[in-house]
Amino acid sequence: MATATQAAKFQPKQLQLRDGRQVSVRKMTPEDKSAILEFARSLPEEDLLFLRTDITDPSVADTWIENLRKGNTVTLLTEGADRIAGYASVHRDEARWTRRVGEVRINVATGYRGAGLGRALAAEVFEVARSLGLKKMAAMMTPDQTGARTAFERLGFTVEALLADWVEDRRGHPRDLLIMSYDVAGFTDQATTSPAQSEDTRRV
């Protein structure tokens, strides 16, 4: 498995969104715990309902940060107007037989949706995946998340499996789990498609 040092090759940068706003992109650090909790708690309840983990919980944020330290997770944060505008993460399993596979999760603040930020984050996090030697990316969601599924399909992801009653939402209700995948090496052409032809990835 690639080390945390390898992931540190990502260099902070500025991005211009379709609406003209500028945002910065950098790696998340342990010092970002309070900021990421503030971001999570600003999300609509509908968004939080379908997240894999409850990122409004400080203990979940602690686990996230520990995975950053171990190098099992790499998270890119975007900031605008002194607040987090969104994030994109690559999560890797320590098991030997899945070490070439990473799970991507992307979330964008409501005020930045529709401006191309989700797609820009996808492109950046796929570059991180390449630097880590990952060969395939997975995205997991419930079938209810039609916007997220459409966004990933536009990036070239395809459905791998639909697992019935596999997960529970924040209210304890059973949900089906949809698993999509994409080969990392082929992502570039999809990511550079004209922004006018795409939408942000949400609630991933």
Summarised one tens digit per residue, pLDDT across range 85-128 is 999 999 987 655 566 889 999 999 999 988 999 889 988 988 88
Q: Which has more confidence, 153 or 184? A: 153
* Residue type (1 letter), 80: G
pLDDT above 90 for 32: yes
Q: What is the pLDDT of residues 121-163, one digit of tens each?
A: 988 988 888 888 888 899 998 888 887 888 888 878 899 999 9
What is the average pLDDT score of the chain? 83
CATH architecture of 4-197: 3-Layer(aba) Sandwich (3.40)
Give 167's pLDDT tier (boundaries 50, 70, 90).
confident
- CA atoms 141, 142, 143, 148: torsion sign: negative
- Over residues 10-26, the mean pLDDT reads 93
Lowest mean pLDDT of 6-20, 27-41, 103-117, 165-179, name the range. Answer: 6-20
Any idea how long the chain is?
204
- Over residues 33-60, the mean pLDDT reads 90
Position 51 scores a pLDDT of: 82
Residue 186 CB burial class (10 angstroms; 0-12, 13-18, ≥19): exposed
Q: Where in the chain are the domains?
A: 4-197
- What predicted TM-score, i.e. pTM, was given to this entire model? 0.80
Say if residues 72 and 95 touch (Cβ distance below 8 Å): no
